[in-house]
């Protein structure tokens, strides 16, 4: 890949490989998955030319040797892209409304919210509320007052949870693409939202829900159905959503990277061994190793070869990985 070329890389889920559509590329028909064809329709510009890098089109998936070579270049491709567009799928379940509200909340947090403070620390501050934290408490209360207007009736809570359950959030390959992106932007239907607004709004909503459940107005004795319903909505905001997990994953990766602590072993523990909330799916089980090699700080030391041939099974890949670790100091 020519580093001087400005291009946009696409991060998406392939979907059902049996569902294909034809597109025209260099005056030739090319079969692509239905998911990709829909994404391309939403990405195309009427007046501007958009240079895209898309794995299914830029890598000959039928040529195993080429695929093996190109997979090892994926980290460079996404790292050098001018922008990475994350395609979440067509509009559905009032996703347009969800994105509008998340953008609004994200901007509100950027305008008035405290920066660089974790949720755990914010909770401590709101519980303590001493004079040294008065400014932060005042800022949060102002934001909370605005959120109170949206809950429990106006904010599309059910649709918000549906938005966080779209397939992209749970795939293993997108972790590398997301972590390495310099400027990721999320596209759902015709609506876009920046990483800053998405992560800030998700962070704020989780904190807001947690704090409100501690508040006597919500978490006291649930005498009536309305109070009980409000309490349930607030509680639902505190659950670990796929959005929060992925944004936290990227943040932790960027923090660990300078210290060379993001090893393949640590990545595997998070994505394959931990609780179901952090496990990631793959259509090819070998991808659970190959998809993480690009962001593993010890990949050069391990020397695990990317091999997609039929002769190199999932079991072989796992054995190779185990042997690589047993042969080096961990």
Query: How many Å apart are CA 223 and CA 235, to the nearest integer?
Result: 17
Read off the pLDDT of residues 144-186 as tens digits, 9 standing for 90 and up. Answer: 889 989 988 899 999 999 999 999 998 988 999 999 998 899 9
The larger pLDDT score, comparing residue 295 to residue 212, is at: 295
Read off the pLDDT of residues 251-274 as tens digits, 9 standing for 90 and up. Answer: 888 887 766 678 898 888 888 765
Query: How many Å apart are CA 305 and CA 17, to the nearest integer?
Result: 25
User: Strands 8-11 and 20-25, how do they pair?
Assistant: unpaired
Q: Is 31 helix (H, G, I), strand (E, B) or coil?
A: strand
Q: Tell me, what's the pLDDT at 67?
A: 87
Measured in whole angstroms, how far is the alpha carbon of residue 161 from the centre of its chain? 14
Measured in whole angstroms, how far is the alpha carbon of residue 213 from the centre of its chain? 27
Q: Tell me, what's the pLDDT at 328?
A: 72
In the chain, domain spans = 95-165+192-250, 261-326
| pLDDT over 90 percentage in the chain | 32
> By the 8 A CB rule, do 51 and 270 touch?
no
Please state whether 114 falls in left (phi above 0), alpha (psi between -120 and 50) or beta: beta
Given a cut of 90, whether residue 84 has pLDDT beyond it is yes
Using the 8-state DSSP alphabet, how is residue 258 labeled?
A: G
Could you tell me how many helices (H) and strands (E) the chain has, helices first?
A: 17, 7
Read off the pLDDT of residues 98-156 as tens digits, 9 standing for 90 and up. Answer: 999 999 999 988 888 777 777 677 777 777 777 777 888 888 888 888 998 998 889 99
Residue among 157, 242, 167, 130 at smallest CA distance from 11: 167
Read off the pLDDT of residues 225-250 as tens digits, 9 standing for 90 and up. Answer: 777 788 788 888 887 678 888 888 88
Read off the pLDDT of residues 33-67 as tens digits, 9 standing for 90 and up. Answer: 999 999 999 998 766 788 899 988 888 888 888 88
Report residue 60: phi and psi, to 5°: -75, 100
The larger pLDDT score, comparing residue 301 to residue 49, is at: 301
The larger pLDDT score, comparing residue 87 to residue 215, is at: 87
Q: Tell me, what's the pLDDT at 258?
A: 65
First to last CA, the chain: 33
DSSP 224-238: SHHHHHHHHHHHHHT
Query: Residues 77-81: what's their mean pLDDT?
Result: 93
Query: Residues 264-291: what's their mean pLDDT?
Result: 79
Q: Which class for 202: exposed (0-12), middle (13-18), buried (19 or more C-beta within 10 A)?
A: buried
Residue among 194, 195, 15, 163 at smallest CA distance from 96: 163
Please state whether 73 falls in left (phi above 0), alpha (psi between -120 and 50) or beta: alpha
pTM confidence score: 0.88
User: Strand order of the sheet with strand 8-11?
Assistant: 52-53, 8-11, 83-89, 184-188, 191-194
Query: Residues 294-323: what's their mean pLDDT?
Result: 89
Q: Tell me, what's the pLDDT at 278?
A: 61
Query: How many Å apart are CA 59 and CA 288, to the nearest integer?
Result: 19
């Amino acid at each position: 890949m020519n580093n001087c070329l400005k291009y946009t890389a696409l991060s998406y889920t392939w979907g059902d490989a049996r569902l294909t559509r034809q597109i025209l590329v260099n005056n030739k028909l090319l079969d692509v998955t239905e998911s990709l064809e829909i994404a391309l329709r939403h990405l195309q510009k009427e007046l501007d030319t958009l240079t895209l890098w898309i794995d299914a089109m830029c890598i000959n998936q039928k040529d195993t040797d080429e695929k093996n070579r190109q997979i090892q270049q994926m980290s460079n491709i996404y790292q050098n892209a001018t922008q990475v567009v994350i395609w979440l799928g067509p509009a559905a379940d009032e996703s347009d409304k969800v994105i509008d509200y998340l953008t609004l909340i994200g901007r509100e947090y950027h305008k008035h919210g405290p920066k660089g403070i974790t949720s755990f620390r914010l909770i401590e501050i709101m519980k303590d509320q001493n004079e040294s934290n008065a400014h932060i408490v005042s800022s949060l209360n102002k934001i909370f007052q605005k959120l109170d207007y949206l809950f429990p009736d106006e904010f599309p809570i059910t649709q918000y949870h549906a938005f966080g359950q779209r397939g992209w959030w749970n795939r293993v390959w997108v972790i590398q693409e997301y972590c390495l992106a310099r400027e990721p932007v999320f596209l759902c239907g015709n609506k876009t939202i920046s990483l800053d607004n998405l992560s800030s709004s998700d962070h704020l909503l989780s904190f807001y829900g947690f704090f409100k459940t501690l508040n006597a107005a919500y978490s006291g004795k649930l005498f009536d159905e309305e109070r009980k319903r409000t309490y349930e909505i607030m509680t639902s905001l505190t659950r670990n959503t796929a959005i929060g997990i992925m944004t936290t994953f990227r943040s932790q990766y960027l923090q660990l990277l300078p210290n060379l602590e993001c090893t393949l072993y640590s990545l595997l523990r998070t994505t394959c061994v931990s609780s179901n909330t952090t496990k990631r799916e793959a259509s090819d089980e070998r991808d659970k190793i190959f998809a993480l090699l690009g962001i593993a700080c010890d990949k050069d030391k391990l020397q695990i070869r990317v091999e997609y041939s039929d002769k190199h099974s999932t079991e072989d890949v796992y054995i190779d990985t185990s042997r690589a670790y047993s042969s080096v100091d961990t």
